[in-house]
Structure formats: C-alpha cells, structure tokens
C-alpha cells in the first residue's frame, strides 16, 4: 500500500529544508576557505572512491553527517539516502516511505578545484516520486526550490523569488538545442580509439552519441555543455538556459531534488535509454518517465509545443545513441 501523502506537511518540510540547505551551504563555504588556506594539511585531503576522478572530501562527509543528524532530530520517522553513506556501504533501498535523498556536495570535482558550480541538493521522495527539491549553491548564492504541484522558484539575494522557467518556453527542436552532457567518472573504454570500435562500454556509447549529436548534419545540435553538477544542470534546464540534459551513471541523490524543480517548470525527466523495441518502431515508441533509481536520465525543458516536442527531442537523442544501451548496476 502506498504512503498516505496527506500525513506529510510538505510546506513545513520544504521550509525546514531551505533553512537546512543554507546552514549546510555555510559549511561548504567555510570548508572551502579552510581547504584553500591550508593546502598542505589534512584539510585539503581528497579521497578517491571508485577511481581517481570519483572524489570525496572531508567536507562532503561532514555536511552529510550534519544533515543526517538534523533530519534525525526533526523528522525521526523519515528515511535517508545520501551519497556518502551509500558509498560507505550503507543499505539504501528506496521504498514508498518519505525519504530524504541528499547529495551533500554535488559537483565535488568543481568544489575541489574552487569552481563555484557546486551545490547541496536535498530531495524528498514519497511513494518513490520526488515531492520536494531544494538546491542551494552557496558560492553563487542561488537557491532553487520546488514542491510538487506548487511551482518551482529561483531565489537570489535581495530579489523576490523568480518563477521557473524564467522565460515563456520557446519551441524545442534538436537542430537548435543546447544540450548538457557529462563525462562522468566511468571512463572505461575498449581501446584508445573508442569511436572506431564497437563496444558496449558506457563511456564509448557516450562518446559516440556526443559525436553523432555534434557532427555536421541537418540536425546537429547548437552546442553541448558540461558543467559538472547534475543538480544544477537540472535547474538550468528548468530555468530554460539549456534545452536538455542527458546522463547515464549518476544517482538518485544527484537528481531527486532537481527532478521536482524541472517537473514544476514544465520539464520532463524521461529515460536516458530508449525502450526495448525502439529501433523497430521509432514512431510508435513510448517516451516514459524515468525511474528515480534508474541511473539513466534525459531531462527536457518545457516546450512551446508541449509534450510532442519533448518526445521528438527525446527520440532524436535516442536515435543518436550508438554502441548499445547504457548499463549501470546498483
Ligand atoms: C557528480 C556530478 C557530475 C555528474 C556525476 C555525479 P558528485 O556528483 O553531479 O556532474 O556527472 O554523475 O556523480 O560526485 O559531484 O556528487
């Protein structure tokens, strides 16, 4: 049986999460200052998780520990899924129960380099659907917020909240699209010449797809961007600064909060992979919403022409994929 949504005061959880994000953001600022003031000490330490580009800092861990302790005090019956506890081996099975899904620092690589494009991302899922999203970038001093069915907003200092998208949606088409992709931490490829070989390695599939979307053709995209923080990528698509964001390999804590913000701005989070029968029947293929824990996502902004334009763009990205589907385990 699904969880009774009416027993959760979404506004109260939202307001509390906004305050939590600001306090956690201050920890990021302080942690960054300390790191750069003491470059030769423990404060500057970075640990590799899966490989040398999958990083965690002490600030990631401290922020997550702080967030967990605050949630336990205020919402003791809610569950928690977080990037660092999961990496440390915690069991994190998503079910229908209200669950905070948190990335303490999304964009860790940027954080380590002193690049301001990073954020704390706090999502709340109920019945496996993202209901609340709070994304705060302390270095940019920008906060994105949303409650499902109540709109999404960008908050900047000394300004009234701005409703997303920031401009009325324009038509959406592949040959005018500005698409975000990410290289990701999974860099396994079958050889030095990834584009010339046939492989089912995720990194090869991505490289071929980027190539197909970018190379000169009547449908080549306007451009491709790679900013390094999934949560802010989703905010950027929600705002209308980019048309789509395609990535395989990120996790529910990277996308949960941004999903609500995108949805409330008229965007659509669909599967990063095409459905089974896609190649045989492109016209008839269904463009389904992604699953939260699926690790393959294609986020598309609101379009003047509505869902049809969004689905056409999704199908074009899928048609551009080469080398198989992306496959990611848990
Ligand atoms: C990563 C960033 C990156 C995305 C990766 C994520 P992290 O999160 O969002 O942009 O490409 O898939 O894992 O490790 O910085 O929290």
Strands 129-137 and 46-48, by their bridges, are unpaired
Of 294, 226, 235, 287, nearest to 261 (Cα)? 235
User: Is 108 among the catalytic positions?
Assistant: yes
> Is residue 135 within 6 Å of ligand 1 at its C-beta?
no
> Looking at the structure, do residues 142 and 259 belong to the same domain, yes or no?
no
> Is residue 309 within 6 Å of ligand 1 at its C-beta?
no
Q: In the 8-state DSSP scheme, what is residue 194?
A: G
| Cβ-based neighbours of 2, under 8 Å, separated by 6 or more | 96, 127
Please report, rounded to a whole number, the percentage of residues in the chain having pLDDT higher than 70: 92
User: Is 83 among the catalytic positions?
Assistant: yes
Backbone angles phi, psi at 302, to 5 degrees: -60, 145
3-state secondary structure of 90: coil
| Cβ-based neighbours of 167, under 8 Å, separated by 6 or more | 240
* Six-digit token string for 111: 């954080």
User: Is 103 among the catalytic positions?
Assistant: yes
CATH of the domain at 306: 3.40.190.80
> Looking at the structure, do residues 22 and 48 belong to the same domain, yes or no?
yes
Whether the per-residue pLDDT at 141 is higher than 70: the answer is yes
Rounded to 5°, angle at Cα 102 from 96 and 105: 165
- Identify which has the larger pLDDT, 192 or 80: 80
Contact 156, 54 (CB under 8 A): no
> Is residue 84 within 6 Å of ligand 1 at its C-beta?
no
Q: How many CB atoms lie within 10 A of CB 12?
A: 11
- Identify which has the larger pLDDT, 189 or 267: 267
> Looking at the structure, do residues 42 and 148 belong to the same domain, yes or no?
yes
Contact 288, 271 (CB under 8 A): yes
Whether the per-residue pLDDT at 187 is higher than 50: the answer is yes
Please give the tally of structural domains in the chain: 2
Contact 315, 287 (CB under 8 A): yes
User: Is 179 among the catalytic positions?
Assistant: no
- Domain interval for residue 20: 5-163
Whether the per-residue pLDDT at 134 is higher than 60: the answer is yes
> Is residue 184 within 6 Å of ligand 1 at its C-beta?
yes
Of the pLDDT bands very low, low, confident and very high (cuts 50, 70, 90), residue 108 is very high
> Is residue 83 within 6 Å of ligand 1 at its C-beta?
yes
**Averaged pLDDT, 6-26:** 98
| CA 196 to ligand 1 center in whole angstroms | 27
Backbone angles phi, psi at 82, to 5 degrees: -140, 155
103 is in an annotated binding site: yes
User: Is 81 among the catalytic positions?
Assistant: no
pLDDT at 88: 79
pLDDT at 38: 78
Which residue, by CA, sits nearest to atom 12 of ligand 1? 250
281 is in an annotated binding site: no
The mean-pLDDT minimum among 60-69, 92-101, 114-123, 196-205 falls in 196-205
> Looking at the structure, do residues 159 and 178 belong to the same domain, yes or no?
no
Contact 325, 273 (CB under 8 A): yes
User: Is 120 among the catalytic positions?
Assistant: no
> Looking at the structure, do residues 72 and 200 belong to the same domain, yes or no?
no
* Nearest-angstrom CA–CA distance, 163 and 154: 6
Whether the per-residue pLDDT at 292 is higher than 60: the answer is yes
> Looking at the structure, do residues 188 and 137 belong to the same domain, yes or no?
no
pLDDT at 57: 83
Give exposure, 214-229, as e/b (b: 16+ Cβ within 10 Å): beeeeeebeeeeebbb
91 is in an annotated binding site: no
Among 101, 105, 132, 179, the one annotated catalytic: 105
Instruction: Give the residue from 131, 163, 195 where a domain finishes.
Output: 163
> Looking at the structure, do residues 277 and 220 belong to the same domain, yes or no?
yes
> Is residue 271 within 6 Å of ligand 1 at its C-beta?
no
Among 60, 83, 84, 186, the one annotated catalytic: 83
Q: At what angle do helices 10-37 and 58-74 cross, to 10 degrees?
A: 150
> Is residue 186 within 6 Å of ligand 1 at its C-beta?
no
**Averaged pLDDT, 220-224:** 94
In a domain, 275, yes or no: yes
Alpha helices in the chain (DSSP H): 10-37, 58-74, 83-87, 108-113, 202-214, 230-239, 252-264, 306-320
Mean pLDDT of the chain: 92
- Identify which has the larger pLDDT, 323 or 222: 222
> Is residue 108 within 6 Å of ligand 1 at its C-beta?
yes
Q: Tell me: the pLDDT tens digits for 232-271?
A: 999 999 999 999 999 999 999 999 999 999 999 999 999 9
pLDDT at 223: 96
Of the pLDDT bands very low, low, confident and very high (cuts 50, 70, 90), residue 154 is very high
The DSSP bridge partners found for residue 55 are 48
> Looking at the structure, do residues 179 and 303 belong to the same domain, yes or no?
yes
Whether the per-residue pLDDT at 65 is higher than 90: the answer is yes
Atom number, ligand 1, closest to the C-alpha of residue 111: 15
83 is in an annotated binding site: yes
Please report, rounded to a whole number, the percentage of residues in the chain having pLDDT higher than 90: 79
Instruction: Give the residue from 143, 163, 183 where a domain finishes.
Output: 163
* Nearest-angstrom CA–CA distance, 135 and 128: 19
* Nearest-angstrom CA–CA distance, 230 and 226: 10
Which residue, by CA, sits nearest to atom 6 of ligand 1? 250
Instruction: Give the residue from 117, 138, 163 where a domain finishes.
Output: 163
Whether the per-residue pLDDT at 196 is higher than 50: the answer is no
CA-to-CA separations, 9 to 1, 6, 19, in angstroms, rounded: 20, 7, 16
Q: Which of 230, 245, 296, 299 to mutate to test the pocket of ligand 1 (most atoms within 8 A of CB)?
A: 230
* Six-digit token string for 250: 């990120």
Strands 268-271 and 244-248, by their bridges, are unpaired
Of 275, 272, 278, nearest to 294 (Cα)? 272
Q: Is the pTM of this model over 0.85?
A: yes
In a domain, 330, yes or no: no
In a domain, 94, yes or no: yes
């Amino acid at each position: 049986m699904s969880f009774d949504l009416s027993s959760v005061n979404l506004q109260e959880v939202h307001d509390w999460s906004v305050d939590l994000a600001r306090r956690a953001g201050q920890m990021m600022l302080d942690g960054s200052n300390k790191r750069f003031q003491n470059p030769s000490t423990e404060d500057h330490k970075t640990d590799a998780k899966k490989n040398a580009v999958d990083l965690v800092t002490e600030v990631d861990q401290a922020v997550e520990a702080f967030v967990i302790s605050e949630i336990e005090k205020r919402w003791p019956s809610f569950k928690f899924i977080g990037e660092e506890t999961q990496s440390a081996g915690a069991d994190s099975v998503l079910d229908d129960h209200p669950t905070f899904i948190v990335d303490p620092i999304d964009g860790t690589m940027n954080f380590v380099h002193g690049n301001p494009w990073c954020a704390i991302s706090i999502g709340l899922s109920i019945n496996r659907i993202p209901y609340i999203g709070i994304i705060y970038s302390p270095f940019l001093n920008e906060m994105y917020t949303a409650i499902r069915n109540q709109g999404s907003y960008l908050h900047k200092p000394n300004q009234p909240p701005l409703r997303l998208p920031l401009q009325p949606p324009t038509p959406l088409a592949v040959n005018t699209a500005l698409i975000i992709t990410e290289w990701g931490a999974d860099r396994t490829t079958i050889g030095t010449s990834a584009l010339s070989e046939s492989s089912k390695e995720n990194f090869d599939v991505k490289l071929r797809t980027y190539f197909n979307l970018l190379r000169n053709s009547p449908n080549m995209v306007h451009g491709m961007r790679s900013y390094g923080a999934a949560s802010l990528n989703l905010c950027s698509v929600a705002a209308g600064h980019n048309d789509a964001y395609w990535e395989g390999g990120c996790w529910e804590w990277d996308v949960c909060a941004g999903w609500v913000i995108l949805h409330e701005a008229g965007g659509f989070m669909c599967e990063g992979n095409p459905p089974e029968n896609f190649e045989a029947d492109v016209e008839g293929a269904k463009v389904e919403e992604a699953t939260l824990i699926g690790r393959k996502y294609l986020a598309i902004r609101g379009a003047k022409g509505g869902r049809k334009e969004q689905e056409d763009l999704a199908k074009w990205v899928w048609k551009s994929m080469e080398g198989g589907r992306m496959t990611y385990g848990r």
